[in-house]
Chains A and B, each alone.
Chain A
Amino acid sequence: MKVLFWCAFYLILSMIMISCSNNNLKIGFVADLSGRNSGIGVSARNGITMAIDEINVHGGINGRELVLISKDHRSDSIECHKVVNELMREDVDVIIGPLLSSMAPAVIDATKGKNILVISPTVSSDMLSGLNDNFFRVISPASEQGKLLAKVLKNKEITIVQNSLNTLYGNAVSEKIEETLPGNQFKKVYFKDKSEFPEVVEMLEQHKPESIVFICSGIDAAGIIQQYKKRNAYLPELYGSSWVKQSDILSYGGKTVEGMIVVDSYSSPVKSKEEESFYNYYNKRFGYDPNLSAIYSYESLKMYETGAKLSKSFQYFDVKTALISQKNFNGVADGFEIDSNGDAKRNLSLFKITNNQFVLFLNGSDL
């Protein structure tokens, strides 16, 4: 009897010790971290790192300390599917990512039926909206961007330059523009990578558009604009989706992108105290200012924190239910709302590049 008691005692003790040793809350993160689109990936990781630092300083979530497990899909769907599976094998509690809509199907497919919550900071494809699944977002659907861009593109001859590898997102934006402006003349130019820039430039020269709308990364948009500018003294009016804004358009575009109008979530020209504090900490920690990719990633994890704390659980259904019940969330610059499918709705604005900075041009909510 005594022997049995001691055996049970040691067994329980071992279990407690094992459970204690694995007490960390694993945050999975998947993005392009080393490829051409790694700009937003690195920023997003920084945003998540900052959220983790902040949460851990306050004792973690429900007493569990957070650890980040990052995976790089290098903008490759197959690689993305693989690394998401790796994350699940490593028993992550939540996945933050992807950042590109083109990678979203791979993530959704890999996590389907696995009872794991996926929160994407920047994926906005309309194709993924309205589904009661495990895929949550903190950004409005891409079509909303098209809708807002259309407001400033009325009666213009438009050429849309779009990355063909991210059509889920790109089409959602471009189709909405076309849908909103049925009377406008549209031309579309697609490219896969920078090797096709000369052809894109050539086509643009042939079209001689009044305005160009870029639905691609900022680095690609800048590359095309730089090449176009070299051959043409004057540039057409330049417009861009949020992807452009979030991926180094200012650095790679320089003066050539001055006056370009891009769409993104609302950000007040005068920063609140909390926003200022966020910017200061981010700058001190990473050496430069955060972009919206970093902010949305930060907000994604903070949203998960809210759900886990409200439900006092880490179980997928508990957290999902708590998030949907909560509905409204505070953001760094502006709050947002999610619906019963986990799709976010937030104010969008237009920003104009002035002196190599984004300056609020038009607040979407004013329209």
Chain B
Amino acid sequence: MYTALAVLLPLFLFGLISLTISSIILRREITKGEISQVKLISHSLEDYLKEPLHETALLIGALRNYTEEDSKIVQRIIDNILGSHDYIFSVQISDSSGKVHRIAPFNQEILGTDISGHDYYKESRKTGDIYWSSSFFSEQYDKPVTSVTIPYENGLVTLFITLSNISRIIYPDNHIDKERIVVVTDQNGVYIYHPDKNKVLSRENDIHFLDNKKRWQNSENNFETEYLGEKVYSYIAFIPDINWMIGLYKPIKSLYKPIKDMGLILVGLTFFFTLITVLFGNNYLVKVSAAIQTLLKSTKDVADGNYELFIPDVMYKDLSELSTAIEQMATDIRSREGVLKQAKNELAKNKEFLEIEVDNRTRELKESITNLKLAQNKLVESEKMASLGGLVAGVAHEINTPIGVIVSAASYLEEQTRNFIKDYENNNISHKVFKKFCEEALKSTKLLLSSSYRASDLIKSFKQVAVDQTSEQRRKFELKEYVDEIVASNISLFKGKKIKVKVEFSNEIVVNSIPGALAQVLTNLLNNSAHHGFENRDNGLITIELSQKNGNALIVYRDNGVGMSSDIRKKIFEPFFTTKRSLGGSGLGMHIVYNLVTQTLNGNINCSENNKEGVQFIIEFPINL
């Protein structure tokens, strides 16, 4: 049922659309055809009626210079007009007063009569133009006729036209189309031609004449109307000058007849072919459906893993190919399933192997990490030692100066003393010499003492810093004092340059923390300022501000060196990050600083720009660890 509907519905819709479009096209073509037909009749009638006017012009030419001798010529022309045009039944020549002085064929009764009462006389005389009369009853012909009157200086020539021959123009092949009413009316709307001859004989008016005339003036030549009680489609045309109207009335039902016929044929054909399609299609569908069901079952069997298929032969080529394809598919699936099983097994084996491998590698990795950590610790320790070494070198260098002074002063004193002893033994000691010796000795001892104190102080500072750096013991210390000691221990870093280190504080801060860690932190920072910030600079300023905030000690370390880019700043605390790798930098200095602040001092450290110049580190750690 649904199948039939699925076939019929689109067919119906398609048919409906086709029919509608065809109707419109056909209707348009019919209209075009009918308009052409009306125009053709109009032109034919015009030619037909106007043709004798050429000969009439000759006749008038002859009449203008008429003498008795011309009588034969005039008669010949008249005979020619009558002979050539069988619809002209009489040629009448009258003088300007309306008296008929020649008529052909000869008619004694009419000759000499007065025609001045007729419209054709009055109008043609009044206008001086050719006058086509309305239909009138011919006293001579005893039938309705029409006439054309051509005035000239001395009178009128009137040609009388029978209406009975008009049908010959409208239907040249004498075949009257009953489905089209063609009418011709004169300038008053009186029928000149109508299929019903009585309407012409009785000079009936076309009731649509005035309406048609109005439409024609409004350039409308086809429209729907009612004619003789029937709905018709009307096509009209006017013959210029003569003012006759051609009307073609085509009943609407006959207008739509070809459309209806075409529709019926289309519907019939559609029905027939649909019936055939449904009948044969149904049989075909049953067989195809059964075959598809079999194939469907086979595919289900394949899906269930049953590859031993038995598909009966199918008579339709496509389905047979499908059947073969399903069988082939089953074979292929079985084959691939075997391959897959094998691959699965291998995969399982590989998995086990991989798990072992991963375990091994993980263990190795863990060992590597442990080793790496150990190596890192070693490196850190090395770095610390290196830092301490630097410190030692610096301190040693610093101590070297007072020691040198001591050596020089002692040597000088010794030499002076020897000389004095020698002078004494030689009793060559004068008061002046003795006084000089005493002054020199005093000077030397003063120098010895001051240098010794200086060396002692240095050693003392170094000792504390060095001990702190190696012991990592917690103790109480005054922050400013300790920072001064660290600075002092590292002052050799800036030797030969005018770099000032200013330690600023607001009040005394006693800290209970691990000073060695702090020493290492500041040492590293100073070291970096010396080697990076002021690498190619002779002047500079390092400021270390000390303060306390919320139970924390706050150290702001600044230098006005070259500073660092934001990329470097982001990575500065990463282990092994250095910009001086080629120059032997380990890249662990700042990492150690970070670890010392965050882990040993339990604080935090941030690196930021120092007003677009140099670097700034803010270190914050608990006063009481």
Question: Measuring CB to CB, which residues of chain A are less than 8 angstroms from any residue of chain B?
Answer: 33-36, 38-39, 41-42, 45-46, 49, 67, 70, 72, 194, 197, 219, 222-223, 226-227, 229-230, 248, 250-257, 284-288, 356
Given known contacts A72-B201, A72-B202, A287-B188, is B117 in contact with A219 (CB within 8 Å)?
A: no
Question: Other CB < 8 Å A-B pairs besides A72-B201, A223-B139, 6 of them?
Answer: A34-B144, A38-B202, A230-B112, A230-B113, A252-B139, A255-B117
A36 to B229 CA separation, bound complex (whole angstroms) = 30
Bound complex: CA A187 to CA B323 (Å) = 122
> Are A257 and B201 also in contact (CB < 8 A) when A36-B142, A252-B139 are?
no
Residue B109, interface by CB 8 Å:
yes
Cα–Cα distance between A248 and B119 once the two chains are bound (Å): 11
Do B202 and A257 touch (CB < 8 A)?
no
CB contacts between A and B, total, < 8 Å? 95
Q: For window 175-226 of chain B, which residues contact chain A by CB distance below 8 Å?
A: 187-190, 198, 201-205, 207, 210
Chain B interfacial positions (CB closer than 8 Å to A): 97-98, 109, 112-119, 121-122, 134, 136-137, 139, 142-144, 187-190, 198, 201-205, 207, 210, 229
Q: When chains A and B are docked, how far (Å) is the Cα of A338 from the Cα of B205?
A: 32
Nearest-neighbor residue (CB-CB) of B112 within chain A: A230
| CB contact between A197 and one of B109, B142, B144 (< 8 Å): that residue | B109
Whether A45 lies near B202 (C-beta < 8 A) is yes
Bound: A226/B113 CA distance, A: 6
Give the residues in chain A near B187, CB-CB below 8 Å: 287
Q: How far is the CB of B583 from chain A (nearest CB, A)?
A: 119
Is there contact, CB below 8 Å, between B142 and A254?
Answer: no
Q: Which 7 A-B pairs have the closest CB atoms?
A: A287-B188, A33-B202, A34-B201, A254-B114, A254-B117, A254-B116, A226-B113
Q: When chains A and B are docked, how far (Å) is the Cα of A227 from the Cα of B111? A: 9
Chain B residues whose CB sits within 8 angstroms of the CB of A223 once the complex forms: 109, 139
B32 to chain A, nearest CB (A): 32
The B interface, classified by DSSP as helix, strand, loop or mixed, is: loop
A257 lies within 8 A of B139 (CB): no
Name which residue of chain B comes closest to A36, CB basis: B142
Chain A CB within 10 A, most for which of B112, B188, B203, B229: B203
Residues of B within 8 A of A252 (CB): 117-118, 139
- With CB as the reference atom, state the residue of chain B lying closest to A219: B139
Known: A39-B137, A223-B139, A285-B210. A33 touches B201 (CB 8 A): yes
Q: Which residue of B lies closest to A43 (CB)?
A: B203
Q: Using Cβ atoms and an 8 Å threshold, which residues of chain B touch A288?
A: 119, 134, 188
Residues in B with CB closer than 8 Å to A197 are 109
The answer on a CB contact under 8 Å between A254 and B198 is: no
Find chain A residues with CB under 8 A from B207 CB. Answer: 49
Nearest residue, chain A, Cβ from B111: A230
Report which of A35, A194, A253, A285 forms a contact with B117, defined as CB distance below 8 A: A253
Inter-chain contacts of A38 with B (CB < 8 A): 137, 201-203
Once the chains bind, are B137 and A254 in contact (CB under 8 Å)? no
Question: Would B112 and A257 count as touching, CB distance under 8 A?
Answer: no
Q: How far is the CA of A219 from the CA of B204 in the complex (A)?
A: 20
A-B contact pairs, 10 of them (CB 8 A): A34-B144, A35-B142, A38-B202, A219-B137, A230-B112, A255-B116, A286-B188, A286-B189, A287-B134, A287-B189
Residues of A within 8 A of B97 (CB): 255
A251→B119 contact, CB < 8 A: yes
The answer for the CA separation of A254 and B198 in the assembled complex, in Å, is 29
Residues of chain A within 8 A of B189, CB atoms compared: 285-287
Residue on B with the closest CB to A250? B117
Set A36, A42, A229, A285: member contacting B114, Cβ < 8 A: A229
A356: B residues at CB distance < 8 A: 116-117, 122
Q: How far is it, in angstroms, between the C-alpha of A257 and the C-alpha of B187 when the chains are bound?
A: 28
Given contacts A197-B109, A286-B205, A287-B134, contact A257 B210 (CB under 8 A): no
Q: Which residue of B lies closest to A284 (CB)?
A: B210
Q: A49 and B139 in contact (CB under 8 A), knowing A197-B109, A230-B112, A284-B210?
A: no
Closest to A52 in B: B207
Q: Which residue of B lies closest to A38 (CB)?
A: B137
Q: Are A42 and B134 in contact (CB under 8 A)?
A: no
- Name the CB-closest residue of A to B229: A67
B121 to chain A, nearest CB (A): 8
* Residues of A contacting B188 in the complex (Cβ-Cβ under 8 angstroms): 286-288
Please, how many angstroms separate the alpha-carbon atoms of A49 and B203 in the complex?
13
